Amino acid sequence: MQPLIDQHGRVATDLRVSLTDKCNLRCTYCMPAEGLDWMPTDQQLTDDEIVRLIGIAAEHLGVREVRFTGGEPLVRRGLVDIVRRVRAATEVEMSITTNALGLARTAGALAEAGLDRVNVSLDTVRRDTFHEVTRRDRFDDVVEGLAAAEAAGLGPVKVNAVLLRGVNDDQAPELLGWCIEHGYHLRFIEQMPLDAQHGWDRDAMVTADEILTSLSGAFELSPAVEPRGSAPAELFTVDGGPATVGIIASVTRPFCGDCDRVRLTADGQVRNCLFARSESDLRAALRAGASDEELAERWRVAMWGKAAGHGIDDPTFLQPDRPMSAIGG
Burial class (CB in 10 A: 0-12, 13-18, 19+), 286: buried
DSSP secondary structure code for residue 167 in this structure? T
**What integer pLDDT is reported at residue 318 of this predicted model?**
77
> How far is it, in rounded angstroms, from Cα 115 to Cα 87?
8
Instruction: Please state, for a pLDDT cut of 90, what percent of the chain lies above it.
Output: 82
Average model confidence (pLDDT) across the chain: 94
> How far is it, in rounded angstroms, from Cα 65 to Cα 95?
8
pTM: 0.94
Long-range contacts of 206-214 (CB under 8 A, 24+ apart): 206/163, 206/164, 206/165, 206/169, 207/249, 207/251, 207/252, 208/234, 208/247, 208/249, 208/252, 208/253, 209/252, 210/169, 211/163, 211/172, 211/247, 212/236, 212/247, 214/169, 214/170, 214/172, 214/173
pLDDT band at 194 (very low <50, low <70, confident <90, very high): confident
**What integer pLDDT is reported at residue 208 of this predicted model?**
96
279-320 per-position pLDDT tens digit? 999 999 999 999 999 999 999 999 999 999 888 877 778 787
36-55 per-position pLDDT tens digit? 889 999 999 999 999 999 99
pLDDT band at 130 (very low <50, low <70, confident <90, very high): very high
Q: In this model, does residue 227 exceed pLDDT 80?
A: no
> What's the mean pLDDT in 135-155?
98
Q: Where are the domains of the chain?
A: 4-327
Residue 114 has phi, psi (to 5 degrees) of 125, 5
**What integer pLDDT is reported at residue 141 of this predicted model?**
98
> How far is it, in rounded angstroms, from Cα 231 to Cα 80?
26
Q: Is 96 helix (H, G, I), strand (E, B) or coil?
A: strand
pLDDT band at 173 (very low <50, low <70, confident <90, very high): very high
Q: Which CATH class is domain 4-327?
A: alpha beta
**What integer pLDDT is reported at residue 187 of this predicted model?**
98
**What integer pLDDT is reported at residue 111 of this predicted model?**
98
User: Which residues lie across from 161 on neighbouring strands?
Assistant: 188
Other residues' Cβ atoms within 10 Å of the Cβ of residue 37: 6
CA atoms within 13 A on the CB side of 130: 17
> What's the mean pLDDT in 64-91?
97
**What integer pLDDT is reported at residue 55 of this predicted model?**
98
Torsion of CA 103, 115, 27, 256, to 10 degrees: 160
Q: In this model, does residue 81 exceed pLDDT 90?
A: yes
pLDDT band at 261 (very low <50, low <70, confident <90, very high): very high
> What's the mean pLDDT in 168-186?
98
| Residue in 259, 279, 277 with CA at minimum distance from that of residue 268 | 279
Q: In this model, does residue 203 exceed pLDDT 90?
A: no
> How far is it, in rounded angstroms, from Cα 200 to Cα 198?
6
Q: Catalogue the E-assigned strands of 106-243.
A: 117-121, 158-161, 185-189, 221-223, 234-238
